[in-house]
């Protein structure tokens, strides 16, 4: 989605803005622009369609712009085609204001018509330009930057994170947030705004997350935040401990591959501090055993891969707690009139913590009285802050659009949550508890052995990257795993792919299997191995080319039917998806590589989906 960066300090702003924007490139965008206030008190604006490099070359890395206060933006088109006119920043007709905006101004048509009637001329097709024009319109009446922004906020409806420059006020910048993420970065004699903390990692670790309706005035010396009634407030500061290298490729050709290989380490970070003397200890969780026992309903709500983790979480939680757990897509949950009361627990899962569908579902759940626990990667994100309890996944920054290490750590956290809840409810026996803890501890090492075989998967991908359609089949845990494998493949390689619960094949889908169709058969789950095998036989009989994934102990058995078998180390059934997902991630990666796809920034997708 769109990216925002703003800087005020003693240094030249443009190179910092370009650098900050480059760290947000992974979010996806189609055009970019920057604006600075020059020492002469004018706004110098440069924009271009396409990659940030085009803009950077155009302004010679920022050397062409002279000014120590500025804003920058990468745009992902919503209103108006991607071109330099529609890209941000947008300026007011008289050149007094420049604005960058993430979100949507819902009533922009009405405001635009009003301003046109006042004689204002518009240049772009965007909703954002009305903000710039409206700012100048009100400023001409009151000549006060702060008051002007307040008036504009009272007039517009919708979702917005804004960075605003006023040519008459070169000593300050104003930032505003409503329903779209924005954070403030504190430096020495310089301050920042950004839509995502990764933009600021080289510059500051001291950040404040803005909340809805808040406004901030940034000067070189400091930042003052105001509440929705425009009263000054103090905000909690967060320290970001990700280092710069965590947000760089470190010798890997793509962030996705780097993040796949970082998974064992990410798992260690997520698991080790929470296992103490053989027990799961969530020091970061406020929920008491008594509260857990009082819940009568449990939901898991998420989108995309996080939803797939939710599906696996449901299997594990239901088995360990003997309670019904409902898992729902956030985009559906919001509108499903869910049956929720104050004895309901809703678990939200989100890497970014900013997914709009998930955030809106969270608001709905809270409105109805639920206790909200979230599993989130990005510290201080909207979902984290909106929850009663947060369990961070500590995966480190995930840059590639296709999630990998966030998925694995979410899974580990939900497995540990099942143990903790099982203990509180008295539904998990000691032997199983001890076995899960012991296997959780071995998981990172076992994952390393899976990764060590990446070349086998690369070879297989080299033989199969030309398929038009690929099927994943599996039962129960393997079905949920297949959904993730299929999503990974389609999002980065653009190959059509479907995941089916194997038992469903005979109810329709098997008609799609013909000579040479590639089927990836997942047969890791020990309880259903025999049934998985019979489904493999069925698709083979119809000419499918099968790649099977199973465990080491079943490799020989599988080889009797399927010539190409990938095996993962044995572990407890509930932990197998954590290992099984790795070959599927690698397969998607190597297939996309063979096909020459833009792996880290697949077409039409964004890392953090902050629109509905």
Choices 244-252, 290-298, 351-359, 530-538 (CB under 6 A): range interacting with ligand M6R: 351-359
CA proximity to 535, closest of 445, 475, 457, 609: 475
CB of 135 to ligand M6R, least distance (A): 32
Name the DSSP letter for residue 352. S
CB of 352 to ligand M6R, least distance (A): 3
CB of 378 to ligand M6R, least distance (A): 8
Residues of span 487-526 touching ligand M6R by CB under 6 A: 487, 491
Of the candidate residues 305, 331, 550, 571, the single one contacting ligand M6R (CB under 6 A)? 305
CA distance to 21, 399, 402, 491, 604, per residue, from 600 (Å): 16, 8, 7, 10, 12
The 3-state secondary structure of 127-173 reads CHHHHHHHHHHHHHHHCCHHHHHHHHHHHCCEEEEEEEEECCCCCCE
Instruction: With H, G, I as helix, E, B as strand and everything else as coil, classify residue 4.
Output: strand
Of the candidate residues 133, 180, 344, 351, the single one contacting ligand M6R (CB under 6 A)? 351
Question: Using the rule CB under 6 A, is 358 a contact of ligand M6R?
Answer: yes
Choices 304-312, 441-449, 558-566, 583-591 (CB under 6 A): range interacting with ligand M6R: 304-312
Question: Using the rule CB under 6 A, is 535 a contact of ligand M6R?
Answer: no
Question: Using the rule CB under 6 A, is 210 a contact of ligand M6R?
Answer: no
Instruction: With H, G, I as helix, E, B as strand and everything else as coil, classify residue 176.
Output: strand
Question: Using the rule CB under 6 A, is 149 a contact of ligand M6R?
Answer: no
Task: Count residues binding ligand M6R (CB under 6 A).
Answer: 16
Question: Using the rule CB under 6 A, is 350 a contact of ligand M6R?
Answer: yes
Can 2 be counted among the known catalytic residues?
A: yes
The phi and psi torsions of 349 (rounded to 5 degrees) equal: -120, 130
Nearer to ligand M6R, 9 or 380 (CB): 380
Of the candidate residues 476, 548, 609, 610, the single one contacting ligand M6R (CB under 6 A)? 609
Are 587 and 460 contacting, i.e. CB atoms less than 8 angstroms apart? yes
CB of 300 to ligand M6R, least distance (A): 13
CB of 222 to ligand M6R, least distance (A): 32
Are 16 and 7 contacting, i.e. CB atoms less than 8 angstroms apart? yes
Strands lying side by side in the sheet with 232-233? 90-91, 97-105, 158-166, 173-178, 214-218, 223-226, 232-233
Strands (E) across 351-479 are located at 371-376, 389-392, 469-474
Quick note: the x/- pattern for ligand M6R over 373-402, rule CB under 6 A, is: ----------------------------xx
Question: Using the rule CB under 6 A, is 74 a contact of ligand M6R?
Answer: no
CB of 518 to ligand M6R, least distance (A): 21
CB of 132 to ligand M6R, least distance (A): 30
Q: What is the rounded distance in angstroms from the CA atom of residue 406 to the CA atom of residue 68?
A: 37
Of the candidate residues 352, 408, 551, 571, the single one contacting ligand M6R (CB under 6 A)? 352
Choices 138-146, 191-199, 298-306, 562-570 (CB under 6 A): range interacting with ligand M6R: 298-306
Question: Using the rule CB under 6 A, is 403 a contact of ligand M6R?
Answer: yes
Nearer to ligand M6R, 161 or 292 (CB): 161
Nearer to ligand M6R, 351 or 502 (CB): 351
CB of 410 to ligand M6R, least distance (A): 8
Can 68 be counted among the known catalytic residues?
A: no
Question: Using the rule CB under 6 A, is 355 a contact of ligand M6R?
Answer: yes
Of the candidate residues 304, 474, 485, 577, the single one contacting ligand M6R (CB under 6 A)? 304
- Across-strand partners of 347? 300, 373
Q: What is the rounded distance in angstroms from the CA atom of residue 361 to the CA atom of residue 368?
A: 11
- C-alpha angle 93/98/104, rounded to 5°? 100
Nearer to ligand M6R, 132 or 309 (CB): 309
Residue positions counted in the chain: 612
CA proximity to 358, closest of 609, 106, 183, 104: 609
Question: Using the rule CB under 6 A, is 586 a contact of ligand M6R?
Answer: no
Q: What is the rounded distance in angstroms from the CA atom of residue 109 to the CA atom of residue 527?
A: 59
Instruction: With H, G, I as helix, E, B as strand and everything else as coil, classify residue 336.
Output: coil
Question: Using the rule CB under 6 A, is 180 a contact of ligand M6R?
Answer: no
- All residues at 6 or more sequence positions from 403 whose CB lies less than 8 Å from its CB, including other chains: 304, 305, 306, 351
Nearer to ligand M6R, 404 or 517 (CB): 404
Residue of 96, 112, 178, 607 marked active site: 607
CA distance to 145, 167, 330, per residue, from 139 (Å): 7, 11, 41
Count how many Cα atoms sit within 13 Å of the Cα of residue 348 in the half-sphere of its side chain.
38
Question: Using the rule CB under 6 A, is 306 a contact of ligand M6R?
Answer: yes
Q: What is the rounded distance in angstroms from the CA atom of residue 528 to the CA atom of residue 352?
A: 34
- C-alpha angle 91/92/96, rounded to 5°? 95
Q: What is the rounded distance in angstroms from the CA atom of residue 489 to the CA atom of residue 404?
A: 12
CB of 407 to ligand M6R, least distance (A): 7
Residues tagged active-site: 2, 607
Chain residues in the site for ligand M6R (CB under 6 A): 303-306, 350-352, 355, 358, 401-403, 487, 491, 608-609
């Amino acid at each position: 989605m769109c990216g925002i960066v703003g800087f005020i300090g003693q240094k030249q702003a443009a190179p910092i803005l370009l650098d900050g924007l480059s760290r947000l490139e992974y979010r996806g965008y189609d055009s970019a622009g920057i604006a600075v206030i020059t020492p002469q008190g004018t706004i110098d604006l440069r924009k271009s369609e396409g990659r940030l490099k085009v803009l950077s070359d155009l302004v010679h890395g920022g050397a062409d712009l002279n000014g120590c206060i500025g804003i920058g933006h990468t745009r992902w088109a919503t209103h108006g085609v991607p071109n330099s006119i529609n890209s941000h920043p947008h300026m007011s007709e008289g050149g007094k204001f420049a604005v960058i905006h993430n979100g949507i101004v819902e009533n922009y048509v009405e405001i635009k018509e009003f301003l046109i009637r006042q004689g204002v001329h518009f240049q772009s097709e965007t909703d954002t330009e009305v903000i710039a024009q409206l700012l100048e319109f009100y400023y001409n009446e009151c000549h006060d930057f702060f008051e002007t922004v307040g008036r504009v906020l009272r007039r517009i409806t919708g979702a917005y994170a804004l960075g605003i420059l006023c040519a008459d006020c070169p000593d300050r910048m104003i930032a505003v947030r409503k329903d779209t993420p924005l954070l403030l970065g504190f430096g020495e004699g310089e301050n920042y705004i950004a839509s995502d903390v990764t933009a600021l990692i080289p510059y500051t670790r001291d950040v404040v997350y803005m909340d809805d309706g808040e406004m901030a005035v940034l000067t070189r010396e400091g930042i003052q935040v105001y509440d929705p009634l425009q009263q000054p407030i103090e905000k909690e500061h967060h320290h970001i401990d990700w280092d710069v290298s965590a947000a760089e490729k470190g010798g890997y050709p793509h962030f996705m591959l780097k993040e796949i290989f970082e998974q064992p380490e990410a798992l260690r970070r997520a698991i080790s501090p929470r296992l103490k003397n053989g027990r799961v200890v969530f020091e970061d969780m406020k929920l008491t055993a008594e509260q857990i026992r009082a819940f009568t309903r449990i939901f898991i709500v998420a989108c995309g891969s996080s939803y797939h983790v939710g599906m696996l979480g449901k299997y594990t939680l239901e088995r360990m707690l003997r309670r019904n757990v409902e898992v729902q897509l956030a985009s559906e949950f919001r509108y499903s009139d869910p049956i929720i009361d104050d004895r309901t627990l809703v678990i939200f899962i989100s890497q970014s913590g900013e997914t709009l569908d998930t955030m809106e579902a969270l608001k709905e759940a809270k409105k109805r009285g639920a206790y909200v626990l979230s599993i989130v990667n990005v510290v201080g994100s909207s979902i984290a802050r909106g929850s009663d309890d947060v369990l961070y996944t500590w995966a480190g920054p995930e840059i590639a659009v296709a999630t990998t290490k966030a998925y694995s750590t979410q899974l580990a956290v939900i497995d540990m949550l099942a143990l903790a809840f099982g203990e509180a409810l008295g539904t998990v026996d000691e032997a199983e508890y001890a076995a899960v803890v012991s296997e959780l501890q071995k998981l990172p090492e076992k994952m390393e052995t899976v990764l060590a075989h990446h070349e086998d998967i690369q070879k297989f991908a080299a033989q199969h990257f030309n398929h038009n359609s690929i099927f994943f089949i599996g039962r129960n845990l393997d079905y949920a795993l297949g959904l993730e494998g299929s999503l990974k493949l389609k999002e980065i390689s653009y190959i059509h792919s479907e995941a089916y619960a194997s038992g469903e094949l005979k109810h329709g889908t098997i008609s799609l299997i013909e000579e040479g169709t590639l089927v990836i058969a997942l047969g890791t789950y020990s309880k259903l191995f025999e049934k998985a095998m019979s489904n493999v036989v069925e698709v083979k009989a119809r000419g499918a080319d099968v790649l099977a994934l199973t465990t080491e102990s079943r490799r020989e058995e599988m080889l009797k039917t399927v010539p190409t078998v990938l095996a993962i180390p044995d572990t407890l059934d509930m932990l197998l998806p954590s290992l099984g997902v790795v070959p599927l991630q690698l397969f998607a990666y190597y297939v996309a590589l063979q096909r020459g796809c833009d792996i880290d920034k697949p077409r039409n997708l964004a890392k953090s989906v902050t629109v509905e």
